[in-house]
Amino acid sequence: MDIKMIQIGTWKVQTTTTAIVFTQDLVEQSLEMIDQWVDLFERETTWIQKKYNVPSLIIRLDCVVHNGKLGIYEVEERPSGVGLCGLINTDFKTRLEIAKSIWPKFKVIVSPKRSLDGDDSLWAQTEQSLSSRSLVLVRAEPDETEYSYLESCSVSSLKAKGNKGYGLRMGFWYRVCVSDFEDLPWNRGFALKPLSGSKCLGLEIWDPRRRFGCSTKERIKKALNLYQQMYCQYLLLPMSTDFPNYPWMIYRPFFVWSVKEQRIREKYKEQWKCIGGLWMAGPSLRLHGATNTVSGPLIVE
């Protein structure tokens, strides 16, 4: 596997051209799950929600496959990494361009707090402010309330960004608090995550076998004390690989909402299209876009 380092702003990431196929069976499993997720994600008065009754034009799954069955870590309804995928996955780039050709035009508004680390300029027009009432995708945290006025023209989440309540309703995880510390599933393993958030912030993993990336009990207790309430998901291990120095891997497929059909269909999944994405491998159970991971193209059959 040939690896090269690329830099996007201040973000450095290792990439490879080694491709992995995301099969049609996995696409179908994803669509079945997305069909449920659409109804359970926190609702907002965004343009996309009012127009099509879905949370976003583009979403990303962070997932694994064990024994042919899809396992979900997160559904990212305002995903990052779109520009990176276009750089390393030419099939993804082609499929994204097809989606953009039928999407309404929109701009990506980027908060100054995060503009140096983003890759949105590689696939969309980006600005730091909006001079007209055009459609937008906003790269800002929910507590940056100065962007709240853009909710009515947003093509993705705004105030509900990173909300993980859908997983509670879908049975992916359950709520715990400080008093539950002793009763956590220590023998089985688990991950604790904040009720809302992204980028692995606040994520704590307990693995009974204490593999690399596992948190200590002390750290887990501190996290519970800090957040007071968290979601607990039973340990869902990344997939194992044969790549030297990168033994763990996850998939990150993207799905786009097709607006070609103007009416809202009975089944949402008929209008979600998988455009591929990337796989990510690394030495730790904690996989994120850091320099110790490598990413390659995830291709749709």
Residue at 163: amino acid letter: N
- In-domain check, residue 9: no
Say what the pLDDT of residue 115 is: 66
- In-domain check, residue 10: no
Say what the pLDDT of residue 267 is: 58
Mean pLDDT of 6-17: 89
Say what the pLDDT of residue 131 is: 66
- In-domain check, residue 194: yes
Please calculate the CA angle 152-195-202 and round it to the nearest 5 degrees.
115
Over pLDDT 70: what percentage of the chain? 95
Contacts 24+ apart (CB under 8 A), 127-135: 134/105, 134/106, 134/107, 135/47, 135/104, 135/105, 135/106, 135/107
> How many domains does the chain fold into?
1
**pLDDT mean across residues, the chain:** 92
- Select, from the ranges 54-63, 106-115, 254-263, the one with the highest average predicted confidence (pLDDT): 54-63
Distance CA 89, CA 94 (A): 9
Distance CA 258, CA 264 (A): 11
- Residue 270 pLDDT level (bands cut at 50, 70, 90): confident
Distance CA 28, CA 229 (A): 34
Tokens for 184, please give them. 């956590």
pTM of this structure = 0.94
Q: By residue range, what is the domain housing residue 197?
A: 16-300
- In-domain check, residue 4: no
- In-domain check, residue 35: yes
Window from 98-102, 144-148, 268-272 with minimum mean pLDDT: 268-272
Asked if the model's pLDDT at residue 129 lies above 80, the reply is: no
Mean pLDDT of 138-145: 92
- In-domain check, residue 226: yes
Distance CA 46, CA 215 (A): 38
- In-domain check, residue 2: no
Say what the pLDDT of residue 266 is: 54
Over pLDDT 90: what percentage of the chain? 81
Asked if the model's pLDDT at residue 125 lies above 60, the reply is: yes
Of the candidates 18, 56, 73, which has an alpha carbon nearest to the alpha carbon of residue 272?
56
Higher pLDDT, 289 or 156: 156
pLDDT tens digits for range 80-94:
999 999 999 999 999
Mean pLDDT of 208-225: 96
Window from 122-136, 211-225, 231-245, 251-265 with minimum mean pLDDT: 251-265
pLDDT tens digits for range 178-211:
999 999 999 999 999 999 877 678 899 999 999 9
- Residue 116 pLDDT level (bands cut at 50, 70, 90): low
Say what the pLDDT of residue 118 is: 83
Mean pLDDT of 83-111: 95
- In-domain check, residue 27: yes
